Amino acid sequence: MAPHETAPTRAKINEALMSAGLPSEQRYQAMRRVTLVGAMTNLTLATAQIIGGWFSHSQALIADGVHTLSDLASDFMVLFAARKANEAADANHPYGHGRIETLATVVVGLVLAGVAVGIMADAARRLLNPEELLSPTPLALILAAVAIVGKEALYHYTMRVAKKVRSRMLEANAWHHRSDVVSSVVVLAGVGATLAGLPFMDAVAAILVALLIGHMGVKLIWNSAQELIDTGVETEEQERMLEAVRRLDGILGVHGLRTRRMAGTLLADVHVQVAPCISVSEGHHIADAVCVAMHGVQDELGDILVHIDPEDDQQGAPSSHLPNRTEILQRLHTQWHDVPPSRYVDPVVIHYLRGQVHLELQLPLQAFASLAEAEAAAQQLVAASLRAEDVGQVQVLFRY
């Protein structure tokens, strides 16, 4: 059978696809809401940190404020990408626009990496020139503590929505907020140490913040790059999906599982071997069951392409050289010209198996005066059909 893209028990799959983060207006509105909340929070915190860092003479707090300001830029980038990524599929983008999220995540990572380099360069310069070291005031401690509380709350809110709508881009932005929490903790410790009599600790804290920012940026870029080159899920996860399929009724074998990610959705295609002579409708039913089983063990799955195989094709396609139906019927009619019962044959069921054509021919029993006549007609048809090129097996069935 041809590759079959199916949706198991339609209601179940539709529900699975909606929760898997496929493009929808509802998903976009959720992403838009959480991103706007994050943008307003970051704008408030960044303003307080930069201005407060200036007045409290804390380079680490200013660095943290710049970090928060970079969050604001990434928030607007996420907002733009969320709108574009959730647009419906079109003629030029039949799989949708989900990869826009991935590209936006790469840009967020690059922004973080650039911010990290700038902060480290400035802090290192101050360490090398002790006369330029800043002496923070207690106000910096208060602002750092406020930032920790605000960013941690923002992390939990964003992560909750990210998991709900299955958005890796939103999840990346949540981790961006969590990196802010860590950096603010470092600032708090650095400012405290400076106030305790270690003047260089504010600059050291700024460098540590920059390292955290840079690490997160590189991680986002790396993960997004893996998605862009269609990296599949881990071997253990693949085996879980394969084992779920193997347990299904009617499955003789399963192989060729391939997966890739698109934004928050996992896409898959798989080959399943079934009994060679089942009907198309039974093959379709089995494919539906395969989709349900795979969704049952991997809830990130969206579209699943199920290829139904009548025989094991792992080492090649043993029947790919055989002619199509029209040519086979032409060959058969050539051999049937002197076989009168052939005019009653309907339907002709063709199976492509083990490099040969296997035929099932149906005859109406009422067309013959006796069972003996019917049996003789069947023997004539079998003998004539086997003379046709590529035909390896013929079965004649009678219907009432």
How does residue 21 score in pLDDT terms, banded at 50, 70 and 90?
very low
> What tens digit of pLDDT does each residue of 260-269 get?
887 667 889 9
Position 101: which residue type? E
**85-89, 112-116, 231-235, 296-300: which has the minimum mean pLDDT?**
85-89
Of the chain, the percentage scoring pLDDT greater than 70 comes to 83
Q: Which residues pair with 5 in a beta bridge?
A: 305
Question: Which superfamily does 22-228 belong to?
Answer: Cation efflux protein transmembrane domain (1.20.1510.10)
Q: Which residues pair with 307 in a beta bridge?
A: 3, 271
Of the chain, the percentage scoring pLDDT greater than 90 comes to 28
- DSSP state letters, 135-148: ---HHHHHHHHHHH
Task: Give 268's contacts (C-beta < 8 A, 6+ positions apart).
Answer: 241, 257, 258, 259, 260, 294, 301, 303, 304, 305
Position 182: which residue type? V
Strands 265-273 and 301-309: parallel
At residue 285, the pLDDT reads 93
CATH class of the structural domain 235-309: alpha beta
Mean pLDDT, rounded, for 179-201: 74
- DSSP state letters, 51-95: HHHHHHT-HHHHHHHHHHHHHHHHHHHHHHHHHHHTSPP-SS-TT
pLDDT for 389 beyond 90:
yes
Chain CA centroid to CA 140, Å: 44
How does residue 374 score in pLDDT terms, banded at 50, 70 and 90?
very high
Higher-confidence residue of 92 and 14: namely 92
Higher-confidence residue of 117 and 315: namely 117
Longest dimension (CA), the chain: 116
| Crossing angle for the helix pair 138-165 and 25-56, to the nearest 10 degrees | 170
Mean pLDDT, rounded, for 278-303: 88
Centre a 10 Å sphere on the Cβ of residue 236 and count the other Cβ atoms it contains: 7
pLDDT for 344 beyond 90:
yes
Segments of the chain assigned to CATH 3.30.70.1350:
235-309, 325-399
> What tens digit of pLDDT does each residue of 40-75 get?
888 888 888 888 878 877 767 777 787 777 667 667
Listed ranges 34-38, 96-100, 245-249, 312-316; the one with the highest mean pLDDT:
245-249
> What tens digit of pLDDT does each residue of 88-143 get?
666 776 566 667 777 777 877 887 788 788 778 877 877 777 665 556 677 877 88
pTM of the model: 0.62
Question: Residue 384 burial by CB count (10 A; 0-12/13-18/19+): exposed, middle or buried?
Answer: buried
Higher-confidence residue of 177 and 393: namely 393
Listed ranges 156-160, 195-199, 254-258, 378-382; the one with the highest mean pLDDT:
378-382
At residue 383, the pLDDT reads 95
The mean of the pLDDT values for the chain is 80
Mean pLDDT, rounded, for 7-12: 45
**What is d(CA 51, CA 139) in angstroms, rounded to the nearest whole number?**
11
CATH architecture of the region 325-399: 2-Layer Sandwich (3.30)
Whether residue 218 contacts residue 248, with contact meaning beta carbons closer than 8 Å, is answered with no
Segments of the chain assigned to CATH 1.20.1510.10:
22-228
How does residue 372 score in pLDDT terms, banded at 50, 70 and 90?
very high
**What is d(CA 391, CA 40) in angstroms, rounded to the nearest whole number?**
73
Mean pLDDT, rounded, for 156-174: 80
pLDDT for 14 beyond 90:
no
Higher-confidence residue of 133 and 153: namely 153
Task: Give 5's contacts (C-beta < 8 A, 6+ positions apart).
Answer: 303, 304, 305, 306
At residue 89, the pLDDT reads 64
Whether residue 5 contacts residue 304, with contact meaning beta carbons closer than 8 Å, is answered with yes
How does residue 17 score in pLDDT terms, banded at 50, 70 and 90?
very low
